[in-house]
Structure formats: structure tokens, C-alpha cells
Copies of this chain bind each other. A is one copy, B any other.
Amino acid sequence: MDEMTRVAIIGAGHTRFGRRTDASVQELAFDALREALHDAAIESSAIDGVAIGSVPEYHQQRSLSGAVATYLNLAPCPVWLTEAACGSGGAAIRVGWLAVRSGVHKVVAVIGCQKMTDLGTAEIQALMGRVGDVQWESRFGTTFPAYYALFARRHMHEFGTTPEQLAAIAVKNHGYGVGNPLAMFRKPITIDKVLSSPMVASPLHLFDCCANADGAACLLLAEERTARALCPAKPRVFLDGCGAASASMSVLTAGDLTGVPSTREAARQAYEQAGCTPRDIQVAQLHDGFTITELMAYEDLGFCGRGEGGAFVDGRGPWLHGVVPVNVDGGIKARGHPIGATGVSMAVEIVRQLRGDCGDHQVPGASLGLMQNVGGVGQYVFVNVMRREA
């Protein structure tokens, strides 16, 4: 670990995800912040910086960060919006981490928030498609299920990965979602149910794909000494590794379609900063926007070898009592995917795991956790390693 300012996570908040017709995006953000403040046992006046992750095009209110900051009464804290498609929450954590490490800010509220279900599915698909390369790709009809179907098909071709192995990831995550009161979907499913669900983009069935949702999550980051002074009693969690990388937004130029190079680069940075290896990770939240994205992440993060994702699933490596429990809160699959909130949501779950607060889905004794948040087909990747103070 390097010698620079260490960043503590002193509070975490997380709304229920799903179709939230009961709340505006500002109200969702408020609920997440309020819970995080209560968790840290501090007042909002202690906050001197704000990082807001969201994808703007879903909201009638433009320039959302100003509206959220106003509703949360956070002036005169500097504020702006951070957007990296489905990685927007991870990008906001990155901004907060840089702000604290710079020494300029002492306590930063990182808020991921998104309201998607005000739009219809067709509108959302049209918007989503335009996250792909508009000039050369999305105008030919590619949307995100189609992009990831290309990865899945190639992974199957190269390594013999099967639809059943992908389906097993969905079954795992929906199974864990049953126990999560914040999740959008709380019913167990079966391999058969996945494989008999409608084909969205071959080989990805409906249950290989995540669902649009509404929700918000919040992390309070603080410089180490400030954290010790403000929150003397709390079990402390540190954001010891914060890796970030990009890759081409175009699958035409991506080269290899069996993994995400930006995940490998972001992971390399995060492991190095945190002074650990993949074998040290005890619990992980990975980006299961599609089952294939979670499977590729096992490999890209080094939880198993290249091409061994399918076997890792067969051996139940990512289950609760496996080698590295992955998405044991239900993941994006069961929790739902309010795209700006997802990255922050992942971090909240890891914090709760490291504090031992996860009840039935607690990974016993976990003290080192990881999250990986992906935007697009890897054009944005954020990998964070979090550690509980011994």
C-alpha cells in the first residue's frame, strides 16, 4: 500500500431498488444520503464535497446534480455530475476518492442515483443503443444485449462455455436476491426457467439480462484522521485500492471478445494499491448486467484462469461458501440496475459484508472485498478493493 492519504468509508446508504413510482430521483438520493449520515452518525454539515453519479438522459430534470444537491441542501459544496454509462456510480466513487486523496476535501458524499422506469422499454432501448458507437455500430441496430451476445458466443466458441453455465449464474444471483429486502426481484429461478425464457440476443435469454430500475445508494468517504475523529466507534472500512481504466467503445476494434481488458488493467491497479492478490479477496460484487459479464469478470479479475469461468461456475466457486462469493446480495440481476446507482450500491454491499452486517448472506469473517463496475462493453471499468481495519 502506498504512503498517501488513506480513504475511509464512514457511512453507507441504499434505497430499495425497483419500480419506484413513489419517489423522484431527488427523493431517492435523499433517502440514500440520510441513511448514510445516520450510519456514520454525522450531520450533513460535516460534508465538504459531493460526487454524483447518474446518467442524465433518463430524467426530465436536466443537469441533475444541481437539482439533487439543492434538494439535499448541500450548498455551497462543489458539485457536478459524473457519467460513465452503467459505470457512473463507480466513476463517482473514483471522483470522491481522488477528492479525498488530494487533501482538498475531508468528507465527500458519493451519491449514485437513477430513475429509469418513467420511460418505456422501447425508449430505454433506443437510448441504450446510442451508448454504443453511433457512427459505426448502433445505427445497425446493436443494443447492449446484442453487444454482450457477441462476447458470450465467442467465449462459448473459444472455451466451450455453455448456456447452462451462464444460466447457473442467473440462478445463483436470483437465489440470493430472495433474502435481500432491497432487491427488485425476490423469487428463486431454475436453469430450465432461464433457458426457456425468451431469447433476447442469442445466446442470451431474458434471464441472462438485468432489468432497468430506479434507486439510489450513498457512500461517505473521509480522510483517515477525520474518519477516526468523526466516527470513533465504528468498525472502519478503507478504500485501499481504486483502479480505473478504459477500452475502445467499439466492438469492431475490440480485438478479443472473450474478456474485458480494462477490467484487467483496473484490477492490476487496485490490487497493487491495496497490496493484495486475487486470492486474498473474500467477497466480491461483480458487474452482472448480463450473465456473461459476471463470468468474464471471474477471469479478468484472476479469480480463475482465462477460459475457466465455466468450470469456476460448475465448481460453485462464486457461491456463498465457494472460493470467492460473488453477488451474494443478488447482484444486478436480482437487485435491478438503476445504472447511475449500481456502482455505489456494490460498494455499499461490500462495506456491509466487511462489517459483518449481512445476516443470512454474510461471508464469515470477510475482511477484504472487491467490486467491479463496468460501463458500456468495457469502455469504463472501476475496480475497488476495500479492507476492514484489523
| A binding-site residues for B, Cβ under 8 Å | 4-5, 24, 50, 55-57, 60-63, 65-67, 69-70, 74-85, 87-88, 91, 94-95, 97-99, 101-104, 127, 130-131, 133-135, 244-250, 253, 261-262, 265-266, 375-376, 379-380, 382
Contacts and interface: CB of A to CB of B under 8 A. Distances in A.
- The number of times this chain is found in the oligomer is 2
Output the residue of A56, A79, A133, A135 with the most chain B CB within 10 A. A79
Output the residue of A75, A82, A133, A266 with the most chain B CB within 10 A. A75
Given A62-B131, A98-B95, A246-B75, A83 B83 contact: yes
A328 to B, nearest CB: 28
Contacts of A379: 63, 66, 69-70, 79
The 3 A-B residue pairs with the shortest CB-CB distance in the complex, in nearest-first order: A78-B244, A66-B379, A80-B91
Contact of A103 (B79, B83, B95, B101): B101
Given A80-B83, A102-B102, 5 more contacts: A56-B56, A61-B134, A63-B85, A66-B249, A79-B379
A60 B67 CA distance: 24
Contact of A76 (B60, B97, B98, B245): B245
Given A66-B246, A103-B4, A248-B75, A380 B80 contact: yes
16 contacts: A4-B103, A5-B102, A62-B127, A65-B83, A66-B84, A66-B246, A66-B249, A66-B380, A75-B246, A78-B266, A78-B382, A79-B84, A79-B246, A79-B379, A80-B95, A81-B84
Nearest to A74: B246
Contact of A60 (B60, B77, B130, B376): B130
Contacts of A249: 63, 66-67, 69-70
A173 B211 CA distance: 51
B376 A76 contact: no
B94 A80 contact: yes
Given A78-B244, A78-B246, A246-B76, A83 B63 contact: yes
Contacts of A91: 80
Nearest to A7: B102
A180 B249 CA distance: 36
B376 A66 contact: yes
Given A77-B246, A246-B69, A84 B63 contact: yes
